[in-house]
A = this chain, B = another copy of it.
Amino acid sequence: MVGLPSDADADADSGPALDPQQLGVYFALMEAVSLLQHQVEVQLRAEGDISYVQFQLLARLASVDGHLTMTQLADGVVYSRSGLTYQAGLLEKAGLITRRPSPDDERSTLVAVTEEGLALVGRVLPGHVEVTRRLLFEPLSDDDLHHLGDIMTRVRDHMRAQPPRSAVPRRRRPNPPPAAQAAPGDRDG
């Protein structure tokens, strides 16, 4: 599945040699995570009636003592701000979190998890862990686990070293990037 035909390579004028091994590793990684995420979502929906994003938000709030601002929360889960506003609205309506203006900065909204939200996390977490154990960790040895953790931690930190998505300056967009040789926005008009 991961082997791209040499035609595509030879046909185009692109020169850089593609590394089939890296490509295979990359595809296997993405596919495995897709499968895992899908199953995890099924479990969370069944046992707690929440989405994976909602679980991430609750778990992150539960992992910090006090509260987080919306921006901190959005960056934490790799999420757009507007999407977070939407989800926070749902979670607040469900009584799982609270939102209140920051006393220090009226612009900021402090988000905290409620008792109910905490209980929900506690309720779905065991099943969550069970699914990951069955699908992800079952075929892995202790050594694999260690290595995988080491690798992914390094990769994550490496990526985090890049500027986070919310740090992209808002004004710095006088014209869109040249976008290679495709008419921008033409495709799905």
Partner-B contacts on A (CB < 8 A): 1-5, 7-9, 11-12, 14-16, 18-19, 21-26, 28-39, 42-43, 45-50, 59-60, 62-63, 65, 76, 78, 90, 94, 118-119, 121-123, 125-127, 129-133, 135-140, 144-145, 147-149, 151-160, 162, 165, 177, 179-189
Residue of B whose beta carbon sits closest to that of A159: B35
A94 engages B187 (CB within 8 Å): yes
Residue of B whose beta carbon sits closest to that of A117: B8
Residue of B whose beta carbon sits closest to that of A144: B151
Copies of this chain held together in the complex:
2
A158 to B134, CA, bound (A): 9
A46 engages B148 (CB within 8 Å): no
B149 engages A63 (CB within 8 Å): no
Residues of B within 8 A of A39 (CB): 159, 162, 187
Residue of B whose beta carbon sits closest to that of A50: B187
Residues of B within 8 A of A147 (CB): 144, 147-148, 151
A91 to B33, CA, bound (A): 25
Known contacts: A46-B179, A148-B151, A186-B49. The answer to whether A125 contacts B25 by CB under 8 A is: no
